[in-house]
A and B are shown apart, each in its own frame.
Chain A
Amino acid sequence: MDAKRELLAVLSTDARESVTDLSRQLDLDPETVEELIDELEADGVIHGYQAVIDWDSINDSHVSAFVELNVELDRETGYEEIADRIVKFPTVQSLRLVSGDYDFAIEVTGESMQDVSRFISEQIAPIPEVTQTVTHFIMDTYKDGGMEFGDRDRDDRLSVSP
């Protein structure tokens, strides 16, 4: 694995690793690690660093939904143009063009189901190219960002073994 890929592999599981610890794990100078990270950020490979949060466990009012979106393209408007419009809403957490029965998969969050529904009907559905939306409210999350939300595996190994 080249250094960049390995750096990404580590950061994708723990973005809080310090430059010093990264340099120890990857056998690189701290300066090199800094440079690589700067490069990855400048090149738009790394867009940011976030915590993986189980909102349900802090009893906050936090509602998310997946929305399927069908659109009809015309001569002037392509997927890019439609996407550009949708990504600007802060309520939209992710937007992807997908294969299959619908065109876009959107993830939106709000403080209540009403909030989310209103956003879809007032901001997304009226977009001229949008022909249909199907909203799936998320009932429970078991895994996100590669992390399981259930009980952690217990380490039941003997504390000292041959």
Chain B
Amino acid sequence: MRIAERVRSVPESGIRKFFELAEERDDVISLGVGEPDFSAPWAARTAAIDSLERGRTSYTSNRGKRELREYIAADVARWGLEYSPDEEILVTTGASEAVDLALRAFVDPGDTVAVHEPSYISYVPGVRFAGGEPLGVPTYAADDFKLTVDSLQKSGAGDAEVLILCYPNNPTGAVMTERELSAVADFCVDNDITVIADEIYAALTYGREHVSIATLPGMRERTIVINGFSKAFAMTGLRLGYAMGPPEGIDAMNRVHQYTMLSAPTTAQFAAIEALRSCGDAVEEMRSAYNRRRRFVLSRFSEMGLDCFEARGAFYAFPEPGGDDEAFAEELLESQGVAVVPGSVFGEGGRGHLRVSYATGMRDLKEAMNRMETFLDDR
């Protein structure tokens, strides 16, 4: 079969290999998982079940159930985001679909899309599928993996049409303050760059509230904010996310969505309405648990002498054992049965680092840290 060049040009994800290695044995503690270890709040699950019992199994409107869009609008107001449920919010099949829609709606063939690295593994392939040219913009351990204007300039991002921005960040757990974002925002305004802001981890910050770049001067009209239910509400398998932005941007994304998806999963939309209506406490409890694990992991790393900056978002730590991260991760898995993801999987800037997910119960986390310590001592 003839496979299109667009697809052939995108290699298999580097995560695949570690998945296969980890699957080979049954004594593995995995710190390589990019999703919550909790289940969706029970009230959200029962809302989904109820909707099925009542036979609510048809499509919804393209943009998603109006009630859900209203709840979303009310929820994001806590970050100072104001979007009209009718014209400025689109419910999608996961944040994943929203990212894909945005790339297809805003990228013409040959356009440059700046992607800061290390970052979530879907962006660069997504840019290629849309016919764009990805431009890697490194972030550095010395800056706690925050995106700087200096790095944007040096990479030539001033000529980019689009910037994908992801804070709190997967894989580093980095967050950015308002002041740091302001510099990036000014750069985008000056260079007329459209921003796709993937804020799926916005609810999971520790210490400071999340700041959305869309709230900064000159940014609302050039930014699509993406969020979803996978991480905050532990609803990954329900596949539900959303995009928010100016009407013409959301219209364009909806144009693609209405032909390729029709509407996001209906059952999940019922669960999401209940999640936003009544599950705030459950989210807060999960967040506190992540925060305790985060502090636990960071303090264990410092005890073992493993360099790690203080990640304040998502559920990842990004230590730097130095040397070849892939070899390190492979040996750690082989000799101690602990799975982590080598940082280089997430782009050049991740080299020498490991992504350690603390979306794992405390008991396993303790054992995994002891094993890592043994591994480091034996080296």
Question: Residues of A at under 8 Å CB distance from B?
Answer: 1, 6, 9-10, 14, 21, 23-27, 153, 155, 157-162
Question: Which one of A6, A157, A159 lies within 8 Å of B37 (CB-CB)?
Answer: A157
> Does residue B300 face the partner (Cβ distance < 8 Å to A)?
yes
Q: Which A residues lie within 8 Å of B34 (CB)?
A: 161-162
Bound form: Cα–Cα A14–B363 in Å: 11
The reply to whether B19 and A25 contact each other, CB–CB distance below 8 Å, is no
Question: Residues of B at under 8 Å CB distance from A?
Answer: 13, 15, 18-19, 22-23, 28, 30, 32-35, 37, 39, 120-122, 170, 288, 292-293, 295-296, 299-300, 339, 341, 362, 366
Question: Which one of B33, B121, B122, B300 lies within 8 Å of A159 (CB-CB)?
Answer: B33
Q: Which B residues lie within 8 Å of A14 (CB)?
A: 362
Shortest distance between the CB of A74 and any CB in chain B (Å): 43
Q: Which A residues lie within 8 Å of B13 (CB)?
A: 162
The reply to whether B299 and A24 contact each other, CB–CB distance below 8 Å, is yes
The reply to whether A27 and B295 contact each other, CB–CB distance below 8 Å, is yes
How many residue pairs between the two chains, A and B, have CB atoms under 8 Å in the bound complex? Answer: 59
Q: Which B residues lie within 8 Å of A23 (CB)?
A: 299
Question: Which one of A24, A160, A161 lies within 8 Å of B300 (CB-CB)?
Answer: A24
Question: Which one of B35, B37, B170, B366 lies within 8 Å of A21 (CB-CB)?
Answer: B366
Shortest distance between the CB of A40 and any CB in chain B (Å): 18
The reply to whether B39 and A161 contact each other, CB–CB distance below 8 Å, is no
The reply to whether A159 and B22 contact each other, CB–CB distance below 8 Å, is yes
Contact A160-B288, Cβ < 8 Å, known A14-B362, A26-B295, A27-B295? no
Q: Which B residues lie within 8 Å of A26 (CB)?
A: 292, 295
Bound form: Cα–Cα A162–B341 in Å: 9
Q: Which A residues lie within 8 Å of B35 (CB)?
A: 157, 161
Bound form: Cα–Cα A15–B34 in Å: 29
The reply to whether B33 and A157 contact each other, CB–CB distance below 8 Å, is yes
Additional A-B contacts beyond A153-B39, A160-B339, A162-B170 (9; CB < 8 A): A10-B292, A14-B362, A23-B299, A157-B35, A158-B33, A160-B341, A161-B32, A162-B121, A162-B122
Shortest distance between the CB of A32 and any CB in chain B (Å): 14
Q: Which B residues lie within 8 Å of A27 (CB)?
A: 295, 299
The reply to whether A159 and B292 contact each other, CB–CB distance below 8 Å, is no
The reply to whether A159 and B296 contact each other, CB–CB distance below 8 Å, is no
Q: Which A residues lie within 8 Å of B295 (CB)?
A: 24-27
Shortest distance between the CB of B294 and any CB in chain A (Å): 9
Bound form: Cα–Cα A159–B29 in Å: 8
Q: Which A residues lie within 8 Å of B37 (CB)?
A: 155, 157
Q: Which 6 A-B pairs have the closest CB atoms?
A: A160-B32, A25-B292, A160-B19, A24-B299, A159-B22, A159-B30
Q: Which B residues lie within 8 Å of A162 (CB)?
A: 13, 15, 34, 120-122, 170
Q: 17 A-B residue contacts at CB 8 Å? A: A9-B288, A21-B366, A24-B300, A25-B295, A25-B362, A27-B295, A157-B33, A158-B19, A159-B19, A159-B339, A160-B15, A160-B22, A160-B32, A161-B19, A162-B120, A162-B121, A162-B170
Shortest distance between the CB of B329 and any CB in chain A (Å): 10
Shortest distance between the CB of A48 and any CB in chain B (Å): 22
